[in-house]
């Protein structure tokens, strides 16, 4: 399928991709699966360079810190420059610091996410003494962490999720992501997160447009998930591009109310439009 679709969020007008100034690129399921780079990725970056297009890696996956992502990007041979990466962990840290550096945080996250929080000067605490509970994509999840999150949410502490993804695409399949933990906590407390920092919320879009000094109308979001990547673009009136290389299937697309501007089987479709 290499058919362009009109998006009801931008007045029925589909912007030509050669007019886009900044491409926000999802990573897992869009550029790679695990350690496998997906087809046409290197040709895609060549096309962006040839056409003088900026790009920003944009990922909801908060299980790694910036240094780990930078190392992986370089290991896979993908282009990298200072300022080309933005994660849900980055915007979560920025939000927490904007609310006051003395707030204590109970964190459900990997050792890498914990390190990023601490290096930013965020005070980590137990669930009883925290001011805010933050849940990230924790591939080191334990029962004690779940219990602490439950107790802090039940006590009415501010509750933040780095992102809402239900599944994380990997080479050969999918693994449960943070959305499963959010659903678990909702089932026993009746509460959803007070704030979700990653896609589809506007925090990442606002940071990206500010960093590159462009408007949302100059931006295209490229990703494999309807409810994060495509919804982010649609809410912001940016151009939305779905690639069918990750989580979303054609059946999912037919059953969803979220519609992208463009649908391509792979990044090849974007190359052809540029």
Task: Give residue 249's pLDDT.
Answer: 86
Residue 234 pairs in a beta bridge with none
Q: What phi and psi, each to the nearest 5 degrees, are found at residue 51?
A: -100, 10
DSSP state letter for 53: -
The number of helix segments (H) and strand segments (E) in the chain equals 10, 15
Task: Give residue 34's pLDDT.
Answer: 87
Task: Give residue 172's pLDDT.
Answer: 81
Query: Does a structural domain hold residue 238?
Result: no
Query: Does a structural domain hold residue 111?
Result: yes
Rounded to 5°, the CA angle 85-235-241 comes to 60
Range of the domain at 140: 90-196
Tell me if residue 54 falls in helix, strand or coil. strand
| pLDDT tens figures, 204-236 | 999 999 999 999 999 999 999 999 999 999 999
The CATH code of the domain that includes 130 is 3.40.50.1000
Query: Does a structural domain hold residue 99?
Result: yes
Whether residue 34 contacts residue 169, with contact meaning beta carbons closer than 8 Å, is answered with no
CA–CA distance, 37 with 39 (Å, rounded to integer): 7
For the four alpha carbons of 254, 260, 262 and 268, in that order, the dihedral sign comes to negative
Give the chain's domain count.
Answer: 1
Whether residue 1 contacts residue 250, with contact meaning beta carbons closer than 8 Å, is answered with yes
Q: Whole-model pTM? A: 0.88
Residue 173 pairs in a beta bridge with 170
Query: Does a structural domain hold residue 105?
Result: yes
CA–CA distance, 31 with 12 (Å, rounded to integer): 28
Whether residue 97 contacts residue 134, with contact meaning beta carbons closer than 8 Å, is answered with no
Task: Give residue 2's pLDDT.
Answer: 41
Q: How far is CA 24 from CA 143, 188, 238, in A?
A: 36, 36, 10
Q: How far is CA 130 from CA 78, 95, 154, 168, in A?
A: 39, 16, 13, 29
User: Taking the CA atoms of the chain, what radius of gyration do you get in angstroms?
Assistant: 18
Task: Give residue 51's pLDDT.
Answer: 96
Task: Give residue 246's pLDDT.
Answer: 87
Query: Does a structural domain hold residue 56?
Result: no
Query: Does a structural domain hold residue 187?
Result: yes
Query: Does a structural domain hold residue 181?
Result: yes
Q: What phi and psi, each to the nearest 5 degrees, are found at residue 261?
A: -70, -40
Query: Does a structural domain hold residue 258?
Result: no
Task: Give residue 14's pLDDT.
Answer: 63
Instruction: Region of 121 please: left (phi>0), alpha (psi -120 to 50) or beta.
Output: left
Q: Reply yes or no: is the peptide bond before residue 68 cis, omega within 30 of 0.
A: no
The residue ranges of the chain whose pLDDT is under 50 are 1-13
CA–CA distance, 94 with 185 (Å, rounded to integer): 25
């Amino acid at each position: 399928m290499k058919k362009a679709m009109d998006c009801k969020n931008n007045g029925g007008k589909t912007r030509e991709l050669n007019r886009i100034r900044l491409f926000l690129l999802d990573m897992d399921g869009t550029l790679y699966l695990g350690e496998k780079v997906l087809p046409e990725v290197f040709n895609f970056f060549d096309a962006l360079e040839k056409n003088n297009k900026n790009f920003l890696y944009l990922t909801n996956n908060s299980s790694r810190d910036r240094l780990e992502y930078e190392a992986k990007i370089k290991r896979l041979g993908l282009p990298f420059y200072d300022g080309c990466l933005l994660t849900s962990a980055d915007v979560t840290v920025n939000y927490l610091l904007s609310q006051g550096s003395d707030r204590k945080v109970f964190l459900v996250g990997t050792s890498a996410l914990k390190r990023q929080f601490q290096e930013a000067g965020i005070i980590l605490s137990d669930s009883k003494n925290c001011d805010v509970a933050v849940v990230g994509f924790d591939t080191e999840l334990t029962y004690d962490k779940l219990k602490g999150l439950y107790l802090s949410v039940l006590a009415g502490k501010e509750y933040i999720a780095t992102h809402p993804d239900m599944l994380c695409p990997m080479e050969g399949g999918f693994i449960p992501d943070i959305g499963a933990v959010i659903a678990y906590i909702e089932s026993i407390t009746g509460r959803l997160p007070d704030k979700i920092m990653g896609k589809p919320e506007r925090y990442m879009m606002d940071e990206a447009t500010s960093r590159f000094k462009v408007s949302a109308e100059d931006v295209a979001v490229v990703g494999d998930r309807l409810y994060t990547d495509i919804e982010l673009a649609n809410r912001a009136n940016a151009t939305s591009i779905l690639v069918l290389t990750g989580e979303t299937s054609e059946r999912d697309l037919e059953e969803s109310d979220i519609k992208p501007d463009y649908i391509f089987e792979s990044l090849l479709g974007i190359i052809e439009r540029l």
